[in-house]
Structure 1
Amino acid sequence: MIGHIITPRVYKLMSHAVSLMVPLILFLRTKKGKEDFLRKNERIGKTKIKRPDGLLIWIHAASIGEALGALPLINLIGETKNLNVLVTTGTVTSASILTKRLPELAIHQYVPLDYTSAIQRFLNHWQPNIALWMESEFWPNLILQTAQRDIPMILVNARISDRSAARWARTPLLSKPLLKSFKLILAQTNEDKQKFASLGAREIKLTGNIKFDSDQLPVNIYELEKLNSSLKNRPFWLAASTHPGEEEIVAMAHKNIKHKHGSLLTILCPRHPHRGQELATYLRKFGLIVKQRSLQEPITDKTDIYLADTLGEMGLFYRLSKITFIGGSLVPMHGHNPVEAAMLGSALISGPDMKNFAEADDILTKFQAMLKVANHHELSAAVNRWLEDEKCRAAAEAAASQCISQLTGALNKTLSEIEPILNQLVEKNEE
């Protein structure tokens, strides 16, 4: 099999060949809105920001989910250690939200593309003293070149899907050196721990999922009150973080529910807000009246779908809605974090695929804080149930609060594992 001949050297040569096309790749991605035109040089390891004096912790989080999950850890490290933090991500969305929420001593940069010269420029400039990688994004050149500089690396909140584990198992000459580059791997679940061990990782510990220790999502109180008043006691529900394939199900469910609740409003928050205009056009094909938040279109009595195609407002919509469907679960995207909604008082609904949050899914379902659905008929029935039975819905909200206490604690466990390594760095720096 070809995977068995891919070594770090072979991968490096392959990435060098691809790097010749980087200007074209960045141009096309920028044109599609997937790169920040003003900051695209960061993707080749260049920056205008000076490295701060003193120790620097580098935290890499692939996209918005990982980045938000890292925030409690970033804040805790900043508060307890007073250290400089560099946070890298790879998406425009994550950059937009993080730059508003990072603490004072933290800097955001886009992660360099995975080829040698970009990585060398990045590492030469920032000279991190330690690197924390969030979850499961492995860029071979970046990891191996960081390890070659004797920069200790820890994989935090580590998880790996069955599909990814199988893929890495097919390239053992590459995957084993990668995983052995990490001084420590802190796994979300026992299953993750076992999969990393089977791939050749060394020191692995079980600490849980720090996403469940996140602070409540922020909210603009003025906007919350304004939206509340515009709803005029209408029945409504929220479809959060939806993906292509789910919006059709939501639209069909809306039409079904409307037979019983004629003034129904559905608030739809796509996972990727840049799809807003395309989605609005698509939903109108169902005969629905759609208003877009990004265009500041007001909700009227005739509005069917309020398309919340904006960034950083999930805290607003989770507080607003007492009924929330968790997207990414009716299509094979493995779901999104249900705890964010649960801690803000929503009764929950999800599809069958919540693999990325299996522990929370199991507990919330077991305690009847979350209903499971498989299609638009079942989604309609679940929303109707919560709309019509306030006592039952209130019980689900209370159950969700109890579940949260069982899911939290990973942040302190994670910090207790990282802290001795940070202390060693601080002591060495003070000598």
Structure 2
Amino acid sequence: MTLRAYRRAMSAASPLAGLWLKRRLRRGKEVEERLSERHGTPTLTRPDGPLVWLHGASVGELTAVFPLIQRLRERDVRVLVTSGTVTSAAVVKDRLPDDVLHQFIPLDAPRFVYRFLHHWRPDLGLFIESDLWPNLIVASAKGRIPLVLINGRMSEQSFKGWRSLRRTAKAILGKFDMCLAQSALDAERFSELGLPIVHVTGNLKLDVPAPPADEDKLAELQLAIADRQVFVAASTHPGEDEAIIEAHRRVRKTRPRLLTIIAPRHPHRGKDILSHAVAAGSRGMLRSYGVLPDDRTDIYVADTMGELGLLYRLAHIVFMGGSIVEHGGQNPIEAAKLGRPILHGPHIWNFADIYAALDAARGAEEIDNIGHMAMRISDLLKDAVTRKAVGDAGYRTVQRLGGALDRTVNELEPYLMQLRLSHQASNA
């Protein structure tokens, strides 16, 4: 009943889609020349032969499957990637080969979904993590497109929500042929909600190479920073920046040349963070203005996209955001892959298994409050040997936990083989 009500509501709301998209366009959340894709009307031609469709919500989900996309290309299948954010489209363009197609995911209204599926006719649909659109899933299954949920993740909050609508959950999740879950707990939750076949394959993010960095920009920043020590607060959320600025103020009493770089999860908050820094008596700069930190800079706000690989390479210590406030924590894997000591708050349920492994190996550490953060930053900055030991422990941990890519490809191989056989038969 809930699913039918949702489908009727989305059908009724579809005439208003244009107004909603125009408002998002004004806020920089859509690409004007590609708005038709959100209505299910393609801007690219479907290629001949087998087509595997991967869908992820945004940058984090998609970058996790970049190595998988390469494995698919090696098996002579074409790949269509869909996502819902402007930044994810830019990352696909910058970091994937030209033969990988990208489209914005259509709004989840039945007629938009139908247009999308009618044009692309994917032979296999791979949904990443937990971005589950009911109409898209139901229509794909009705069109006999095999569906697999890969890198499946189900947070405690989402699980409680789905469980309160158990029949609806089964009506949607039951359309998947199989789920490849990140952990045993995720697998248990998906099974309880009605997914018929669930295997634990691990987290694909652990098999992604360390994030890249522009060599010229890195050299430019290294020259500007010189011999100063750097504390990077990555992917911060509202409510965390003030704590980081205060911790910086305290540490500067004994480490006066400390440079703190704050990279907000949402770059548009850069000016607000700068205002907080100035109000606290710190001298700040915005990276989006094209300026580099100088000897007097206290807080450098990296309000840009796609530069965490650059910032991690500069860092002596990294704090992972989304963990002081109740957001669930941001992904620590990239910082660990670059051998950086990691600090985090208590709210880390989005990556609970990974943080638990890092903490147990002493490659990361939980901090309880501003005073604790300032103390640990100061201690680590004074002790290069301990800093390296912590960073090395984190690196070894994420390397040990890898292997999800091979396990995922092995589980998908029967589907890929069927695609190749079907294609050969159609050409015979």
Q: Tell me the residue number matched to 2:63.
A: 68
Aligned residues of 1:57 and 1:84 also touching (Cα < 8 A): yes
Q: How does 1:258-297 map to 2 (within 5 A)?
A: 258-297=252-291
Q: Confirm or deny that 1:230 pairs with 2:221.
A: no
**Structure 2: how far apart are the matches of 1:260 and 1:236?**
14
Q: How much has 1:248 moved relative to structure 2?
A: 1.1
Q: Confirm or deny that 1:28 pairs with 2:23.
A: yes
Which runs of 5 or more structure 2 residues have no equivalent in the other structure?
A: none
Q: Tell me the residue number matched to 2:421.
A: 427
Q: Tell me the residue number matched to 1:141.
A: 135
Q: Tell me the residue number matched to 1:37.
A: 32
Q: How does 1:27-426 map to 2 (within 5 A)?
A: 27-78=22-73, 80-426=74-420
**Structure 1: how far apart are the matches of 2:279 and 2:13?**
41
Give secondary structure in 1 for the equivalent of 2:60. Answer: helix
- 1:55-107 Cα shifts (integer Å, max 9, x gaps): 111000011111111111112211x2121111111111211222111123211
**Structure 2: how far apart are the matches of 1:314 and 1:236?**
14
**Structure 2: how far apart are the matches of 1:257 and 1:305?**
13
**Structure 2: how far apart are the matches of 1:367 and 1:168?**
34
**Structure 1: how far apart are the matches of 2:112 and 2:349?**
34
Aligned residues of 1:321 and 1:346 also touching (Cα < 8 A): yes
Q: How much has 1:232 moved relative to structure 2?
A: 2.0
**Count of residues paired in the alignment:** 425
Q: How much has 1:171 moved relative to structure 2?
A: 1.8
Kindly provide the amino acid, as one letter, of the partner of residue 179 in structure 1: L
**Structure 1: how far apart are the matches of 2:292 and 2:333?**
29
Kindly provide the amino acid, as one letter, of the partner of residue 32 in structure 1: R
Aligned residues of 2:206 and 2:399 also touching (Cα < 8 A): no
Q: How much has 1:405 moved relative to structure 2?
A: 2.4
- 1:137-169 Cα shifts (integer Å, max 9, x gaps): 111000000110000000000011111111112
TM-score by length of 1: 0.96
Aligned residues of 2:34 and 2:43 also touching (Cα < 8 A): no
**Structure 1: how far apart are the matches of 2:195 and 2:413?**
21
Q: Tell me the residue number matched to 2:9.
A: 14
Kindly provide the amino acid, as one letter, of the partner of residue 60 in structure 1: H
Aligned residues of 2:230 and 2:314 also touching (Cα < 8 A): no
Aligned residues of 1:75 and 1:103 also touching (Cα < 8 A): no
- 1:207-260 Cα shifts (integer Å, max 9, x gaps): 010100001211111211111111121122100111111111111111111111
**Structure 2: how far apart are the matches of 1:243 and 1:279?**
10
Which runs of 5 or more structure 1 residues have no equivalent in the other structure?
A: none
Give secondary structure in 1 for the equivalent of 2:111. Answer: helix
**Structure 2: how far apart are the matches of 1:430 and 1:261?**
67
Kindly provide the amino acid, as one letter, of the partner of residue 362 in structure 1: A
Give secondary structure in 1 for the equivalent of 2:288. Answer: coil
**Structure 2: how far apart are the matches of 1:399 and 1:304?**
29
Kindly provide the amino acid, as one letter, of the partner of residue 81 in structure 2: V
Kindly provide the amino acid, as one letter, of the partner of residue 307 in structure 2: E
**Structure 2: how far apart are the matches of 1:34 and 1:283?**
28
Give secondary structure in 1 for the equivalent of 2:319. Answer: strand
Root-mean-square deviation (Å): 1.3
Kindly provide the amino acid, as one letter, of the partner of residue 202 in structure 2: G
**Structure 2: how far apart are the matches of 1:116 and 1:285?**
50
Give secondary structure in 1 for the equivalent of 2:79. Answer: strand
Aligned residues of 2:346 and 2:367 also touching (Cα < 8 A): yes
**Structure 2: how far apart are the matches of 1:121 and 1:275?**
37
**Structure 2: how far apart are the matches of 1:418 and 1:103?**
22
Q: How much has 1:286 moved relative to structure 2?
A: 1.8
Further displaced range: 186-195 or 42-51: 42-51
Q: How much has 1:381 moved relative to structure 2?
A: 1.2
Q: How much has 1:311 moved relative to structure 2?
A: 1.3
**Structure 2: how far apart are the matches of 1:28 and 1:55?**
37
Q: How much has 1:274 moved relative to structure 2?
A: 2.4
Q: How much has 1:116 moved relative to structure 2?
A: 0.8
**Structure 2: how far apart are the matches of 1:140 and 1:430?**
33
**Structure 2: how far apart are the matches of 1:282 and 1:96?**
30
**Structure 2: how far apart are the matches of 1:38 and 1:291?**
34
